[in-house]
Structure 1
């Protein structure tokens, strides 16, 4: 099954028709709604105290419950955790993981997650650091929030900052699982004038395609 999915993803990124297929399975909404919970969350308020302008989006995927491994639906938190493991330990993150490993893996980052097996089995508790670029700030039964944008060794404000909220929830009414990768990027250093987020449009578009890939390949970890 893994070879089949790898082949499918290669095709998805190879043609305009396939890209449209990927987009249809993983639609992106931008900007986020004004009532989105991230804006009122303590994590966001703490990380962006000056409320600097953001680049923001959410990639959503829905799967029938019948396709999900039944053991992941027995205990609260297992679904979101396994989806998070699929995002970081899956095919979609491989290139970035290898690049960051080449640049930053060493004695000073030895306690971080680097190897695929670590990424596929971690419990992603608060404080977990991922490939010297992400750090878990919050973990709930339905989502895991990580800080992004720079090395987690930089604890204070920084010019490149942001949040990923990786979520998995059960929609019993529609007998579906909703998976999402939510992104909010900003500068947390000082006060930024204006209302434009930190990403130019072309980088924002590339980021949205990357979110689709992470969502798609992360979802494979949940399938029977």
Structure 2
């Protein structure tokens, strides 16, 4: 997963994670293994992009937030909370360094239709087909989840060597008085990947990915707070 690995190294070691308060800031987010029973593994996109069922690296970054801390307007209409959470992922501080890196390399006439500026990223409703900084494309949207394809340019439509799915979702649990936010990742080599689980990324890249997921989570939540 060369492209993903390079971004994780650059973004996590050179960006927000260098702040000494990183572990305090992200202490309420935790990362768990993503069970094979999760929807992402049965989704049409996963079956199409990983037709040979090659090995994956997958996890789920989870954060529970009291409903009293969330902008009440986002709870009035179905889908708005998920949209704002998604917009916070891409338009927030956690993605700023990676966005700038991608813009320097790939922003141009061929990618002019994609979302690039902070204003575009924070205001988009992320409909299916939306392309983000030449590295992500929305492939599914429901009231509580938005799923993007990741790993390489969305201009490459076929099965790819560097590929994956990334889900931003929220489960409002009114009986518990909380909203549970998720950032779910599934990475794989759709062309010639190994069948051995856990061998598609070096351990240190996997560790950086988990820490970056926590940064993304905390940054995105700023867009939904009251």
TM-score where L is the length of structure 2:
0.89
1:28 maps to 2:12: no
Q: How far off is 1:96 after superposition?
A: 0.1
1:172-183 equivalences under 5 Å are: 172-183=174-185
Where structure 1 has 5 or more consecutive residues not aligned to the other structure, the ranges are: 1-9
Q: How far off is 1:23 after superposition?
A: 4.3
- Cα pair distance change 1:163/1:11, threshold 3 Å: closer
The answer to whether the Cα contact below 8 Å between 1:105 and 1:131 also exists between their aligned partners in 2 is: yes
Aligned equivalents of 2:47 and 2:16: distance in 1?
40
Output one character per residue of 1:83-119: Cα deviation in whole Å (capped at 9) or x when no partner: 0000000000000000000000000000000000000
Output one character per residue of 1:31-72: Cα deviation in whole Å (capped at 9) or x when no partner: x12322222222211221111100111101111000100100
1:48 maps to 2:57: no
SS of the residue corresponding to residue 196 of structure 1 reads coil
1:204 maps to 2:206: yes
2:81 is matched with 79
Corresponding pairs, count: 212
Aligned equivalents of 1:147 and 1:161: distance in 2?
7
Where structure 2 has 5 or more consecutive residues not aligned to the other structure, the ranges are: 1-14
- Cα pair distance change 1:75/1:200, threshold 3 Å: same
1:159-178 equivalences under 5 Å are: 159-178=161-180
Aligned equivalents of 1:103 and 1:144: distance in 2?
26
The answer to whether the Cα contact below 8 Å between 2:194 and 2:200 also exists between their aligned partners in 1 is: no
Aligned equivalents of 1:167 and 1:193: distance in 2?
28
SS of the residue corresponding to residue 223 of structure 2 reads helix
TM-score where L is the length of structure 1:
0.90
- The structure with higher relative contact order (CA 8 Å, sep 6+) is 2
2:19 is matched with 14
2:134 is matched with 132
